[in-house]
Amino acid sequence: MFSLQLTETHEMIRQTAREFAHAEIAPTAVERDKTGEFPAEIVRKLGELGFLGMMVSPEWGGSGLDCISYVIAMEEISKVDASVGVIMSVNNSLVCWAIETYGTEEQKERYLRRLAQGEIIGAFCLSEPEAGSDATSQHTTATRDGDEWIINGTKNWITNGTTASVYLVFAQTNRELRHRGITCFLVEKGTPGFTQGAKEDKLGIRSSDTCSLGFDNVRVPDSNRLGEVGQGFKIAMETLNGGRIGIAAQALGIAAASLDAALTYAQQRHAFGRPIAELQAIQFKLADMATKLDAARLLTYRAAWLKDQHQRYVKEAAQAKLFASRVAVENALDAIQVHGGYGYVREYLVERYLRDAKITEIYEGTSEIQHIVIARELLKEYALV
Ligand code: CAA
């Protein structure tokens, strides 16, 4: 049963995130979209605010907040700049969560505290040139050599790729066991043999940095193994379940920004002797945009709430991401349509919303993968045997 009561703390988080986004992120968002510059100073301030380790326990330098708080903050930050949203999301849900859940005390002391406070940021390295959706087909290998592991391979599309200091790297340690032979390692920037490719020139979320990574006989001590040998794929999947809630929240931000822009423009722009907001064709669009946004938000809150209740949320997280990312794209398209020709040029923000929205249907599991996850969970729930 889903029963959510937002608290004063949740409202306070919303207010803080909103004010921070407007004061600190908005002034440079348009320029960074053009130049692709990484928002280093903003990320530093997000860390000071406690937004880079929102769900991490205060014992490890985090804010100790629930997943609903995280979703609320992610929506507000992404509403102003989805590039900042994904940097925040990867650090919180893919890196901090995995280390807090599977790490040793020593790993948490060494990495989690600094990650949670934004002194350093992290990256999650699962995708490869030939293993995107088919994540069990890892080609990267890790071979044991005494107390060390030697990693070889290539990772692709890594968010925070050039700016991170610590990387969660998934590698095959026993190919015969297929996904049960995958192990996760913590690799530090600067380790010999570890190289970063050029920053990708992307359609959207342009000021987040994405690159490929090379591993040429990279040696890491066994103490940098995250979790058990062979547990890596489980860690990746469990971590991505939570990550998908973060991306759903990022999508909510883009969908909400699109609605706001359409509502404003429709009341300012006149056609046929009156504001276009008085035309039913436009009103229907606005109504659909708002209704889909609310539905997406409810799905996302439900997934976050289940996670907070320590209940299974695999299906619900996938549903939230599937639907919210679709709504982000549709609302951005509708916002452009409401703006007419003005929506197609950079003078207005809505064209960026569309470019930023598209990736939410691709990363952390494409929409096609979300369908698979949802269907498999449904068939488990309603199995006839
Ligand atoms: N939660 C927990 N466990 C899961 C899971 C989930 N959502 N999905 C699969 N598993 C488990 C299965 O139970 C199975 O475990 P056992 O064998 O121990 O029972 C194991 O994983 C393998 O699953 P399947 O046999 O079903 O394997 P498959 O190949 O048929 O399907 C998949 C696996 C669901 C398609 C998986 O590969 C997948 O999720 N792919 C998408 C990968 C992805 O999301 N990549 C995103 C990259 S990261 C990123 O984008 C970050 C960024 O920088 C922004």
Residue 48 pLDDT class (50, 70, 90 cuts): very high
Same domain, 253 and 319: yes
User: Which tens digit of pLDDT belongs to each residue from 185-241?
Assistant: 999 999 999 999 999 999 999 999 999 999 999 999 999 999 999 999 999 999 999
Q: Which of 31, 364, 377, 381 is catalytic?
A: 364
Same domain, 92 and 145: no
Residue 344 structural domain: 234-384
Beta carbons of 174 and 142 less than 8 angstroms apart: no
Given a cut of 90, is residue 332 above it in pLDDT? yes
pTM value is 0.97
Same domain, 269 and 361: yes
Same domain, 228 and 240: no
Quick count: other Cβ atoms within 10 Å of Cβ 148?
16
Place of tokens 């909400």: 256
Ligand 1 centroid–CA 292 distance in Å is 28
Ligand 1 centroid–CA 106 distance in Å is 28
User: Which tens digit of pLDDT belongs to each residue from 269-324?
Assistant: 999 999 999 999 999 999 999 999 999 999 999 999 999 999 999 999 999 999 99
Residue-level pLDDT at 384: 86
Ligand 1 centroid–CA 217 distance in Å is 27
Same domain, 105 and 140: no
Question: Ligand 1 pocket check: which of 90, 168, 237 to mutate, most ligand atoms within 8 Å of Cβ?
Answer: 237
Give residue ranges with CB within 6 A of ligand 1: 90, 124, 126-127, 133, 135-136, 158-159, 179, 233, 237-238, 240-241, 314, 363-365, 369, 372-373
Beta carbons of 373 and 365 less than 8 angstroms apart: yes
Same domain, 327 and 339: yes
Is position 1 within any domain? no
Protein residue whose Cα sits closest to atom 15 of ligand 1: 234
Is position 3 within any domain? no
Same domain, 263 and 129: no
Same domain, 69 and 180: no
Given a cut of 90, is residue 1 above it in pLDDT? no
Instruction: Specify whether 364 is catalytic.
Output: yes
The CATH number covering residue 239 comes to 1.20.140.10
